[in-house]
Amino acid sequence: MIPLEHVIGLSAILFLIGTVGALTRRNLIVILMSIELMLNAANLAFVGFSRAWGEHDGHLFVLMVIVVAACEVAVGLGIVIALFRNRETVNVEDVSLLKW
Amino acid sequence: MSAPELFFYGAGALAVVSALGMVLNVRNTVAAAMSLVVTMIALAVVYVVLEAHLVAALQIMVYAGAIVVVFLFVVMLLNLRSDAFAPPRQRLLKAAGAALSVGIAAAFLSLVPASLPTMRDVPDGFGGYRAVGAELFTRFVLPFEITSLLILAAVVGAVVLAKRRLD
């Protein structure tokens, strides 16, 4: 039997890797992929707790998160393509007009 | 060590390594997307060990089969120059960043409570399509229907964004 702490620990590590990627990378596509990784880490925590309590609620949350992730990718990559069409770049440092 | 534990720790280590490969691969976006596929498949293995069979199947189908394919499609469509994102060489800054990351990771992992509930035995068919589907279409039927609105909004939004000229 796998202890729940190890599942949550794995989830935390993956979430941190995703956070580091979203904060440090310059390629907009890789930033989106890092956000996907963070969503997956949250899914892993949901599945782990669902297994521990023997209820299906976590699985259903995961299904919703997967749908949200798919929608996010569709819209996000649409934005990336629109950005590339207008500015010929997907580097976030070239599109920092709104940055404070 | 029993077979489920072996699969859990093996797939977990693979997921962490491939996630690091995705984040640390600065030059090649296609390779980063491929690392993401490996992470998704390793997580699907972890889900199977945790008795989430339907979620594991959907993870493979939606994440590895659809989302990453869309990523690869966009990367190849845009034809990015592979060295456009290489950062300037700042060894000291990189070392400091790595040390800080490890420190934050250790602090974060120490937040995981030591006394979480232990895994209890689950009945046969737990996490299968029959049990999850019954819950989805009884207690969770309203969120399920609202999801379709979200997908519709995303489809319309993606088409509007990708259209060259709005009439």
CATH of the domain at A44: 1.10.287.3510
pLDDT(B47) > 70: yes
The answer to the question of residue A98 being in a domain is no
The reply to whether residue A48 touches residue B50, judged by beta carbons under 8 angstroms, is: yes
Among B51, B74, B111, the residue with its CB nearest the CB of A77 is B74
Tally A–B CB contacts below 8 A: 215
**What does the pLDDT look like over A45-87, one tens digit per residue?**
999 999 988 888 999 999 999 999 999 999 999 999 888 888 8
Give yes or no for residue B82 having a pLDDT over 70: no
Q: How far is B91 from chain A (nearest CA, A)?
A: 15
**B22 close to A (CB below 8 A):** yes
Let me know if residue A33 belongs to a domain. Answer: yes
User: Domains along chain B?
Assistant: 3-82+123-162 (1.20.120.1200)
CA distance A71 to A69: 5
The domain tally of chain A equals 1
Q: Is B71 an 8 Å CB contact of chain A?
A: yes
pLDDT tens by residue, A13-55: 999 999 988 888 888 899 999 999 999 999 999 999 999 888 8
Contact indicator for B161, A82 with CB cutoff of 8 Å: yes
Containing structural domain, residue A60? 4-88
Cα A49 to Cα A9: distance, rounded to the nearest angstrom: 12
A48 within a domain of the structure (yes/no): yes
In a domain, A53, yes or no: yes
In angstroms and rounded to an integer, the radius of gyration of the C-alpha atoms of chain A is 17
Q: Token pair of A90, please? A: 């997907």
DSSP state of A92: G
pTM of the model: 0.89
CA distance B165 to chain A (A): 11
| Residue B9 CA from chain centroid, whole number | 17
* Residue B14 in this model has a pLDDT that exceeds 90: yes
Residues of A in contact with B15 (CB under 8 A): 10, 14
Average of per-residue pLDDT across B130-142: 91
Which of B47, B50, B157 has its CB closest to that of A78?
A: B157
Residues B105-123: tens digit of each pLDDT:
888 788 777 777 777 777 7
> What is the average pLDDT across B90-95?
78
Helices (H), chain A: 4-24, 28-53, 57-87
Q: With a threshold of 0.85, tell me whether the complex ipTM lies above it.
A: yes
Give the three-state DSSP class for B50.
coil
- Measured between CA atoms, how close is A27 to chain B, in angstroms? 7
Question: Is residue A99 assigned to a domain?
Answer: no
Q: What is the structure's pLDDT at A54?
A: 87
d(CA A98, nearest CA chain B) in Å: 19
- The least confident of A16-25, B43-52, B87-96, B151-160 is B87-96
The rounded percent of chain B whose pLDDT value lies above 70 is 93
B14 in reach of chain A (CB within 8 A): no
Query: Exposed, middle or buried: residue B138 (CB in 10 Å: 0-12, 13-18, 19+)?
Result: exposed
pLDDT of B86 strictly over 80: no
In the structure encoding, which two tokens stand for residue A97, read together? 């007009």
Is the dihedral angle over the CA atoms A44, B53, B115, B11 positive or is it negative? negative
- Does residue A41 fall inside a structural domain? yes
Asked, for residue A94, whether it belongs to a domain, the answer is no
